[in-house]
Amino acid sequence: MEGIPLMGSDPDSDVDMVVGNPPVVTPRIPRKTSHVWKQFDKVTEKNDDGTIMKQPNGKDVMKAVCKICSEKLVFGGRSGTSHLSRHATSCLKRTTSDVGQTIIGRTPTGGIYSFTFSQVRARRETVRYFIREELPFNKVEKPAFRRWIQKSFGPQFKPPGRLTLRADIFLILEEEKAVLKDLLRSVPGKICLTSDLWTSNQKLGYMCITAHFICTDWKLHKRVISFPMLPCPHTGKIISDAIYANLLGWNISDKIGTLTLDNASNNDVCVSRLKDQLFGHDMLSRELFHLRCNAHITNLLVKDGLKHVESSLENIRESVRHVKYSPSKLQKFFETCQSLNMKEKRLPIDIQTRWNSTYLMLEATIPYQKVFDLFFYDSDFAYKPDLVDWQNAIVIKEFFEIFYVSTKSFSCSNSVTSSTFFFQLSKIVLILKRVENVPSFKPLYDSIKWKYDKYWKDVPMLLGLASCMDPCFKFTALELCLDFNYDYDSQSQPESQSPSVSNENPWLLPYKTKLNELFEVYLQKMSSGVTGMNETSSNAPQEEDMVLAMLSKRREAAIKKCKSELQRYAYDWGALITGKMDVIG
């Protein structure tokens, strides 16, 4: 029986029981560790109060945390590690930029493009979307947003949390600031600033500073370089210190050309201090530094004028309000429009704080005069407009149309507007002259003319020089406006026989002198460039046709007197451009 195993012994047992022999013990083979643990860490799960979470048997609850995406997964017991291996593989695919399925598609124009998903790019574009749309950070954690991301882009894209989103936004801010700082330093010419104060609904004061400049690509750029909160009181010293500190931060204090502000008295102190800080004894730069906002001045002119015509607009305003008062009245108004073959339209009503809303209300309402007459035919409505009200409304609308168009022109930020200032100003003068002798508009004319003389009779030097450099107008637009302002008719003056005596407007001489000074500085610092133009046609109103005719007549008379190169530029137009023109394009 020697060497024969006992019955019932386990042949797979580590111990062989043999009769007559001592037991033989073989060493146990250690369990192999899965390779997935190179991608995971074992952590103890904790409760909300910080205590360790326990299993029913009293052992600690353990989780496997992915080293790449920090996702927690269960392990141990019956769970095994297969699911951990699958997650490690898929997680690596999502975070490796060169691994993924390439998608071929077509552009709207028919071209072919390829796309490979990138978690980094998708996350960055999500952050930029939140920036552009000014969305709250917590929206990224809303269930509806998460569901939209999951159903639209699949599980491969994991959007950031709100804290990560906030941190990414600050990183992008620093990146964009560095790019913008390099761009501002590369500007070959001067940088023009506009600034204004703004009060939030929390009664906090803010100041916006915007930089306008022409880069080496001859394109006009606009960038908001600062929007700081400005503590009270908003004195000229506090405003100037805030602006100067921002210029130093961007390292562009030596590249500033002009600053445009509104007409608040504290801005005068601000400008005076900034001149000392930026230019010292450079008298030419100091003189051309400050500009008053022409859109703001136009707003002051129109608001003063509207006070004298409010009675003529009251019936029309109340009629529009009556129509919009209830759905039944609005439905009746639409039915009246249909009976007269007029387009159904919800007419706007003006807002007291925005004068252009009054113009837009009249522009939309006047074509519906017959609709209102039929609507109120058998009504005892107290504010029913009569024929006189409509006639006055037409005149008021035509009068303020020039101011509305001029405001849009002055406020444009996508093209150069300073050179067209005198063309717009000449149209304003002509419309004022049309109502100068109309008795019913005499109070309106006096009010607007007083404000006009206060701000625009002495034409800003910088705008005069800008007009002279515009190939459309050159000296003639400036001269025409000065003739209007000072009631001087240079075209009717007798031709002088002496070369030392000129028959041109004497108010034009300071602008020519200053232009010569600027031209000398230009010759020293800059080389001449080439500009192009894009000509388009437009339907010009009556005042615009009159201004263009006057400019053409002045060009023919002035071109005979050219002597120097600067004079030949100023008066040798070639052809009058009646449409829009990009003076830098």
For residue 31, what pLDDT is reported?
A: 55
In the chain, count of helices (H) and strands (E)? 20, 12
- Mean pLDDT score, 283-295: 89
Q: How far apart are CA 284 and CA 120, in angstroms?
A: 52
Residue 156 pLDDT grade (very low, low, confident, very high; cuts 50, 70, 90):
confident
Whole-angstrom CA distances from 330 to 335, 357, 550 are: 9, 21, 48
Residue 263 pLDDT grade (very low, low, confident, very high; cuts 50, 70, 90):
confident
Tell me: pLDDT of 259 over 90: yes
For residue 272, what pLDDT is reported?
A: 92
Tell me: pLDDT of 185 over 70: yes
pLDDT digits 0-9 by tens, 107-137: 777 777 777 777 888 888 889 999 999 899 9
pLDDT digits 0-9 by tens, 364-374: 999 999 999 89
For residue 115, what pLDDT is reported?
A: 73
What is the amino acid identity at position 188? P
What is the amino acid identity at position 368? Y
The DSSP secondary structure of 178-227, one letter per residue, reads HHHHHHHHT-SS-EEEEEEEEE-TTS-EEEEEEEEEE-TTS-EEEEEEE-
Q: What residues pair up with 112 in beta bridges, in sequence order? A: 106
Q: How far apart are CA 222 and CA 103, in angstroms?
A: 37
Nearest to 516 by CA among 563, 580, 447, 574: 563
Q: Where is 25: in which H helix or E strand?
A: strand 24-25
Decide which of 375 and 46 is more confident: 375
Residue 492 pLDDT grade (very low, low, confident, very high; cuts 50, 70, 90):
low
The whole-angstrom distance between residue 212's C-alpha and the CA centroid of its chain comes to: 12
Question: What percent of the chain has a predicted confidence (pLDDT) above 90?
Answer: 15
Q: Which of 20-34, 164-178, 431-445, 570-584 is predicted least confidently?
A: 570-584
Residue 22 pLDDT grade (very low, low, confident, very high; cuts 50, 70, 90):
low
Whole-angstrom CA distances from 17 to 1, 6, 29, 112, 277 are: 13, 7, 20, 77, 103
Q: Which of 61-70, 432-441, 469-478, 574-583 is predicted least confidently?
A: 574-583
pLDDT digits 0-9 by tens, 378-420: 888 888 888 888 988 888 888 888 888 888 888 887 778 888 8
Provide the mean pLDDT of the chain: 79
Residue 32 pLDDT grade (very low, low, confident, very high; cuts 50, 70, 90):
low
- Mean pLDDT score, 223-250: 90
Look up tokens 């002009």; give the residue. 258
Q: Map residue 249 onto helix, strand or coil.
A: helix
- Mean pLDDT score, 224-229: 91
For residue 18, what pLDDT is reported?
A: 47
- Tell me the domains of the chain and their CATH numbers: 36-81 (no CATH), 118-170 (no CATH), 191-292 (3.30.420), 300-457 (no CATH)
Q: Which of 116-130, 353-367, 517-531 is predicted least confidently?
A: 517-531
pLDDT digits 0-9 by tens, 63-78: 888 877 777 888 776 6
Counting Cβ atoms within 10 Å, is residue 265 exposed (0-12), middle (13-18) or buried (19+)? Answer: exposed
Q: Which of 23-37, 126-140, 368-382, 422-436 is predicted least confidently?
A: 23-37
The DSSP secondary structure of 40-108, one letter per residue, reads EEEEE-B-TTSPBPB-TTSPBPEEEEETTT--EE--STTS-SHHHHHHHHHHHHHH-TT-S-EEEEE-T
Question: 475-486 and 509-525 helices cross at what angle (nearest 10)?
Answer: 150
